[in-house]
Amino acid sequence: MRDKPIFSRSSNLVSLPALGLELLFCVLAAFFDQRQLSAALMFVFLLSGVSRLWAVLSLRRLSISVSDAGRGLFPGETAVFEIEVRNEKFLPVIWLEVFFPLAKTLCLTPEDCRPPDDWEAPVLERSGASSALVGERRFSFFLWYETLRFQSRWIANCRGIYSMEGWRLRTGDGFGLTQVERSIHKDARFAVYPRLIDVAPDLFLRNLWNTESGTRGVMEDPTIIRSTRDYMTTDSFKHINWRLAAQGLPLTVNVYEEILPQTVHFLFDGESFSGPDPHPEEMEDALSILASELVLLSERQVSCGLSLCRGAECEPVNLFPSSSHIEELLWALAAYQPMEPKRDPNSGSILLQAPAFDTNTLYEAAGNVGRFYYISYDIASLTDRTLLRHLDHTCLSLLTYCEPEPYGGFETVCLCGLKEGQGHA
């Protein structure tokens, strides 16, 4: 960890020009035999010099370590950071702050928050951090060769990504004339996933297995008999081993080898929720429904994939069922943000931007996907006709946030209808 300060804030009294003037006037006063004035100026010069030097030395051999809590949380959950600060020098630290800039969305906030000072707000704004709240822990009189351990409790509020990159240590002199700070070099990121709600997975199970799925979402391969067992009245007649029954043996049923079902792949068109009439709350609700379905299908051993169109901070994302885990899918949903609004150069109105998917990769993997589900705000916002023509109605369904209208031969379903207790088409 570097000891060099990345930022300093000092009184004009301890600036280098002021120190030079103080020393010059002290010498002139002594030269003209103004002893009291010279002594006063020398005191101010020494006070300012000691203050400036003290602040710089306070940061030397001051180290910090942070133990990460879990990297992924859902709204309402709590993350606890174990923080250890060590003063590895003889000089005591009069005061110390651990400063936490927060994400602009305030997706993850510590219990110790405050509004930023006037001088902090412009700096936070330029760095892309929140200018509404900052996190801070302040300690006084940190002794020489002392180790300080404390916990910082953070609350997950809403979907988003939080980075520790902006964390800083602040300290200064005991006279309050100089403040210096240094970054904490820990580039860890944390995701707050979309909020989970109660949803029904019947639509996806029906399309995959024609309502013949097993209790755990697996399928039986009728070509591979794993074993047999005694017949029970609840067993299906088609599972009876008729060959053994024909030999006069007691009725038995075949136990087939279980295999994973076909896969589902979701395409989320976030740009359909922006444009001239943006729908941010509806997009968050749609992401919650999608995340809830992904978690529920994963619990039922259904492999899911996800494609996101190009967003504000990332290129198009493709996560395929064969190689993706549920944490990767949820992280991608937490990080997604639509592109920055684009305005018409003539009228100045906001334009609806077409979604940009990584279609080449999608087309190559289409043969290994059981069914695609394209999520958009409504039918009218569908702009990428090429993608829909390539992935036609035989392998793709449309899920719209608004009540859907018929669209070609595609199966169209209201996304909100997937919420538990509301039914669906």
Token pair of 384 as six digits: 């990428």
Angle, nearest 10°, between helix axes 280-299 and 326-335? Answer: 180
- The CATH architecture that domain 264-418 belongs to is 3-Layer(aba) Sandwich (3.40)
d(CA 311, CA 206): 32
List the alpha helices (DSSP H) in 128-273. 202-209, 242-246
Q: What is the mean pLDDT of residues 221-229?
A: 65
Report the percentage of the chain scoring pLDDT > 90: 22
The answer to whether residue 281 scores a pLDDT higher than 60 is: yes
How many angstroms separate the Cα of 157 from the Cα of each of 72, 75, 76, 197, 258? 13, 5, 6, 15, 41
d(CA 15, CA 348): 48
* CA count, 13 A, side-chain hemisphere, 60: 9
Domain boundaries along the sequence of the chain: 1-192, 219-259, 264-418
Name the residue among 170, 147, 157 with its Cα closest to residue 82.
Answer: 147
3-state secondary structure 322-382: CCCCHHHHHHHHHHCCCCCCEECCCCCCEECCCCCCCHHHHHHHHHHCCEEEEEECCHHHC
The answer to whether residue 333 scores a pLDDT higher than 90 is: yes
DSSP 313-324: SS--EEE-TTT-
d(CA 11, CA 179): 9
For the ranges 99-103, 184-188, 369-373, the lowest mean pLDDT is seen at 184-188
Report the percentage of the chain scoring pLDDT > 70: 87
Helix, strand and coil in the chain, % to nearest 5: 30, 30, 40
Name the residue among 125, 168, 133 with its Cα closest to residue 8.
Answer: 168
pLDDT category at 211 given cuts 50, 70, 90 is very low
The answer to whether residue 216 scores a pLDDT higher than 70 is: no
Name the residue among 248, 353, 346, 352 with its Cα closest to residue 310.
Answer: 353
With contact defined as beta carbons under 8 Å apart, do 272 and 381 qualify? yes
Tell me if the pTM is above 0.85. no
- The CATH architecture that domain 1-192 belongs to is Sandwich (2.60)
With contact defined as beta carbons under 8 Å apart, do 205 and 240 qualify? no
The answer to whether residue 209 scores a pLDDT higher than 60 is: no
d(CA 25, CA 9): 25
* CA-atom Rg of the chain in angstroms: 32
pLDDT category at 214 given cuts 50, 70, 90 is very low
Token pair of 377 as six digits: 């705000």
Q: What is the mean pLDDT of residues 81-90?
A: 88
pLDDT category at 384 given cuts 50, 70, 90 is low
pLDDT of residue 290: 95
Residue that has been written with the tokens 């024909």 in this structure: 246
Q: Do domains 1-192 and 264-418 have the same CATH topology?
A: no
**Strand order, beta sheet including 178-183:** 7-10, 178-183, 168-172, 93-100, 134-142, 113-114
pLDDT of residue 332: 93
d(CA 370, CA 90): 67
For the ranges 184-188, 277-281, 393-397, the lowest mean pLDDT is seen at 184-188
pLDDT of residue 221: 52
Residue that has been written with the tokens 């005694």 in this structure: 230
- pLDDT tens digits, 10-65: 667 777 787 788 788 888 888 888 888 888 888 888 888 888 888 778 888 888 88
Phi, psi of 269 (to 5 degrees): -95, 85
d(CA 50, CA 43): 10
Q: What is the mean pLDDT of residues 119-146?
A: 87
The answer to whether residue 262 scores a pLDDT higher than 90 is: no
d(CA 412, CA 268): 15
